[in-house]
Structure 1
Amino acid sequence: MNYKISHEGEIVFINFHGDLIGEENGPEIIESVNDTLSNNIVKCAVDISDVRYINSSGIGVLITILTKFRNKGGEVIIVNPSEHVKKLLVITKLNVIFSIVDTIAEAKEELNK
């Protein structure tokens, strides 16, 4: 799995590519999230449109990201999950916990409310 973190104003964007299997870069991603939060950026859009597969460790990474942002009064929005990942989010009932939108533009709109 590869990922890219970028900032635009008060929003951090995390883009995942490949299989979201948290064992590999999970700690590294969480460290980047901690750095972001220490800079008082508490809005996050996680683009998983290029994620083909996600396992329990990958779900753990998403939940950890959400928890860290919400503990600081922020929010995380999941952007454009594939049908496979969307089904997994429904099965695990994470679709109730996460805000899920189809585009980055929608994520920006939601986070800037």
Structure 2
Amino acid sequence: MKYQSELKDDILFIRLQGDLIAGTDTQSMMEAADGLQDGKVMLCAVDLSHVRFMDSSGMGVLVSLLTKFRNRGGELVLIKPSDHIRKLLIVTKLNAIFTIAENDSFAAQFLKESIY
């Protein structure tokens, strides 16, 4: 898995590509989210549109990220998961705890409204 992150309008956008499974890249991504501005960033959007496969470790990564941001008083949203990833979220009932956005602007709008 590859990832890119950017901070835009106080929202951390994490863009994932490939397979979301346990490995050094996922660990690196988690550490980057932890260390970003000493935990002062409260909003995160994870773009899953280019994720082909996700296993239970990958689901654990998403839940861990969500927990980190909610513990800060913030929120996390998933952007455009593929049909395969959506089905996994439904089967595992994680669709009940994650908000899914269809694009960056909807994600940003939801996140900004979630903290006010």
TM-score (normalised: structure 1) = 0.95
Measure, in 1, the Cα distance between the counterparts of 2:10 and 2:110.
Answer: 13
Contact 2:16 2:48 in 1 (8 A): yes
Question: Residue 34 of structure 1 corresponds to which residue in structure 2?
Answer: 34
Measure, in 2, the Cα distance between the counterparts of 1:92 and 1:45.
Answer: 20
Count of residue pairs brought into register by the alignment: 113
Contact 1:37 1:69 in 2 (8 A): no
Question: Residue 107 of structure 1 corresponds to which residue in structure 2?
Answer: 107
TM-score (normalised: structure 2) = 0.93
The one-character-per-residue Cα deviations of 1:2-61 (angstroms, maximum 9, x if unpaired) are: 000100021000000011112232221111011126151110000000001001111111
| Gaps in structure 2 of 5+ consecutive residues | none
Segments ≥4 residues shifted beyond 2 Å: none
Question: Residue 61 of structure 1 corresponds to which residue in structure 2?
Answer: 61
| Gaps in structure 1 of 5+ consecutive residues | none
Q: Against the structure 1 CA distance between its residues 99 and 18, is the aligned structure 2 distance closer, same or farther, given a 3 Å change threshold?
A: same
Measure, in 1, the Cα distance between the counterparts of 2:71 and 2:28.
Answer: 19
Q: Against the structure 1 CA distance between its residues 80 and 17, is the aligned structure 2 distance closer, same or farther, given a 3 Å change threshold?
A: same
Question: Residue 51 of structure 1 corresponds to which residue in structure 2?
Answer: 51
Contact 2:15 2:46 in 1 (8 A): yes
The one-character-per-residue Cα deviations of 1:58-96 (angstroms, maximum 9, x if unpaired) are: 111111100000000010000000000000000001100
Contact 2:39 2:72 in 1 (8 A): no
Question: Residue 2 of structure 2 corresponds to which residue in structure 1?
Answer: 2
